[in-house]
Structure 1
Amino acid sequence: MQLFIETLSFTLHVTAPVFILVFLGLFFRRIDLINDEFNRVASRLVFNVTLPTLVFLNLLRTDLTQVFALDLLVYVAVVTLLAFAWLVWRARRLAATEDRGVFVQGSFRGNLGILGLALAGNQYGEAGLALASILLALLIVQYNLLSVVALSLWRNQPGEGLNWKRMLLDIIRNPLIIAVALAVPFSLYQIPVPELGIKVGSYFASMTLPLALLCIGAALDLQALRVTSSSALMATAYKLVLLPLPMLFGAWLLGYEGMTLGVLFLIFSCPTAAASYVMARAMGGNAVLAANIVALTTIFGTLSISLGVFALHWSGLS
């Protein structure tokens, strides 16, 4: 009984602060303490300034030789591609063409930049944040490329081609990828950074996760759930359970354990990224379905992630 209570306490310590802030954002939006304009500006500030600063500082403070593993990056990239291929095959069964690409994207594209980092930091501190940041750099590129492919396979305007050059430039100019690219040489070669810069950066970094989590909650559209479809429920099941479990099991079979296995679980099981809605709407997909998937995975993710953290800690695997 004592072990159960300790494990439950550990689980709540990891997940509760994150999801409480998300639902506080939803509550603040309902009482008009947060409005759309605040959410838009705050989200831009987080994405362009504070989140890259957080990633940079955590990589700077970490011995990357202890957390960087090429084999882990290869595993994550391969299982993501396999999951994508399975989802494309599965989406062919959906009757509505405009639902297929949205279903695929919503089922694999997680909110790693905010929720993944927040959960990893809560559970493992700076080392967890550093490992999650390295995986994030890889998955940002992979998720963006695969999302465009998924939404283009059944695009409503077949005559329109993909602007691959613009998409690649957007990826290269992504502030998070730039932060990782800058932080790696600074960390590996121990390039000194002025103490003033560290202190100012720490102020920015400390505001990142609370502000970003509030923005996620404020952006949730619960009214869209009134028209929830079987496709949205199916995508939610894939995102939170049906894909993370085999991906995590494969990592365990390969010998990963402890912090690495725990961070992989948090990365694989993150709710769907809000950016998937923006991309689906821009590329002619079913935007209502995309909004439903974001809302459902965020709501049910509070339970599935908490149960996963509880199980991993209970079993001693993380």
Structure 2
Amino acid sequence: MSLIDVFLSTLNISLPVFAMVFIGIALKRLGWIDQAFVNTASRLVFRATLPAMLFLSLIHADLERTLNPWMLAFFALATIASFVLAWGYAALRVKRHQRGVYVQGAFRGNCGVVGLALAHGMYGEVGLSLGSLLLGVVILCYNVLSVVVLAAYQLDEDGRRKAIDWNSIFRHILTNPLILAVVVATPLAALQVSLPEWIETTGDYFASLTLPLALICIGATISTRALKTSYRTAVSASLAKMVVIPLVATLAALGLGFRGAELGVLFLFFASPTAAAAFVMAKAMGGDEILTANIIALTTLVASISVTVGVFALRLNGLI
């Protein structure tokens, strides 16, 4: 395969995903969809269609082929390491009231939508299965670590630091629809349980709403106006999220022997732009939501280039 062929095939993987994001931007600008639609659609994706897609992909997964505990452990450790490094940098170079938001924006990727869509586009059902298994680790790590760092800089009405509500953290984890889907589907996949055909067909129709709807919502939430404030801090966090962390984590995965689909999915998850859920969490916990919006916008716009370049380099060297 020539260099041009490799590049064009890489574009065929990344462009459809990011084209849907830009369609979301256009639809919002044209006034065809509004914030009420985005809020409703986002809740539908999080509570129903994405759990359905994860559930169906996992019960069809060949766990003997796709379940690699070392891959899950590596992703968890790499995520924790990136979180610690981002916090260490923030403690030295970022204003105190922006540190929690900076750290969350620098390490928390949109793996559940963008990462999963890219994995499916690159590897089909195998990529979807690998990504779905990784999502269990993703959800646990991202939610717990984000709450911890945001709570560390959360202030009460008197300007004093608030105590971390661990009961609330655990309650959100135990009731997370994505975690529940993974927990329920994994033993069914291990036992090779088959669902009635009509249920699977209905589930496929429903789950097929997930990726286009979620990607359009991501595009609709991007605000270029927000980029005018806290620009330098947003750029710093975005560079960490889209360049430093994917590069270092992927090189570490290479050094540990990951290749093929596993390395490809790991890279796509590490290289995913900052999750839109980061905005909701920052706002709920009194963080700087404008800075969060800046980071989400920048990383999403940059991802169309950085992900394409990363996939192209890995494919060119025959690593994925």
Counterpart of 1:218 in structure 2 is: 220
Percent of aligned pairs with the same residue?
44
Amino acid in the other structure paired with 1:56: F
- Give me the TM-score of the superposition, normalised by structure 2: 0.96
Amino acid in the other structure paired with 1:268: F
Q: After superposition, give the CA deviation of every residue in 1:278-318 in whole Å (9 maximum; x if it has no partner).
A: 11122222111111000000001110001001111111100
Change (3 A) 1:194 1:101: same
1-structure distance, mates of 2:154, 2:34: 33
Structure-to-structure mapping, 1:105-124, within 5 angstroms: 105-124=104-123
92-101 or 232-241: which moved more?
A: 92-101
Structure-to-structure mapping, 1:44-123, within 5 angstroms: 44-123=43-122
Counterpart of 1:21 in structure 2 is: 20
Amino acid in the other structure paired with 1:63: D
SS in 2 for 1:93: helix
Indicate conservation of the 8 Å contact 1:276/1:290, yes or no: yes
**Which of these residues, 182, 203, 206, is aligned with residue 204 of structure 1?**
206
1-structure distance, mates of 2:126, 2:277: 27
Change (3 A) 1:316 1:90: same
SS in 1 for 2:302: helix
Structure-to-structure mapping, 1:221-240, within 5 angstroms: 221-240=223-242
131-140 or 224-233: which moved more?
A: 224-233
1-structure distance, mates of 2:298, 2:52: 30
Structure-to-structure mapping, 1:120-131, within 5 angstroms: 120-131=119-130
The offset of 1:246, in angstroms, is 1.0
1-structure distance, mates of 2:313, 2:94: 37
2-structure distance, mates of 1:130, 1:154: 37
Instruction: Kindly indicate whether residue 281 of structure 2 is the aligned counterpart of residue 272 of structure 1.
Output: no
2-structure distance, mates of 1:214, 1:48: 17
Indicate conservation of the 8 Å contact 1:98/1:156, yes or no: no
The offset of 1:228, in angstroms, is 4.2
SS in 2 for 1:62: coil
2-structure distance, mates of 1:126, 1:73: 18
Q: After superposition, give the CA deviation of every residue in 1:201-247 in whole Å (9 maximum; x if it has no partner).
A: 00011111111111110111111012242111010000001011111
Amino acid in the other structure paired with 1:26: I
Q: After superposition, give the CA deviation of every residue in 1:144-164 in whole Å (9 maximum; x if it has no partner).
A: 111011112222333422221
2-structure distance, mates of 1:107, 1:221: 19
Aligned length: 317
The offset of 1:169, in angstroms, is 1.3
Indicate conservation of the 8 Å contact 2:90/2:103, yes or no: yes
RMSD: 1.1
2-structure distance, mates of 1:250, 1:213: 29
The offset of 1:40, in angstroms, is 1.0
Counterpart of 2:317 in structure 1 is: 315
SS in 2 for 1:191: coil
SS in 2 for 1:40: helix
166-175 or 300-309: which moved more?
A: 166-175
Indicate conservation of the 8 Å contact 2:67/2:133, yes or no: yes
Amino acid in the other structure paired with 1:103: Y
Indicate conservation of the 8 Å contact 2:53/2:204, yes or no: yes
2-structure distance, mates of 1:212, 1:82: 28
Amino acid in the other structure paired with 2:236: M
Change (3 A) 1:187 1:202: same
SS in 1 for 2:3: helix
Change (3 A) 1:225 1:153: same
2-structure distance, mates of 1:315, 1:123: 16
239-248 or 151-160: which moved more?
A: 151-160
SS in 2 for 1:285: coil
Runs of 4+ in structure 1 over 4 Å off: none
Indicate conservation of the 8 Å contact 2:155/2:162, yes or no: no
Amino acid in the other structure paired with 1:3: S
Unaligned runs of 5+ residues in structure 1 are none
1-structure distance, mates of 2:68, 2:118: 21
- Give me the TM-score of the superposition, normalised by structure 1: 0.97
1-structure distance, mates of 2:296, 2:52: 26
Indicate conservation of the 8 Å contact 2:151/2:162, yes or no: no
Counterpart of 1:241 in structure 2 is: 243
Structure-to-structure mapping, 1:255-270, within 5 angstroms: 255-270=257-272
**Which of these residues, 277, 290, 294, is aligned with residue 292 of structure 1?**
294
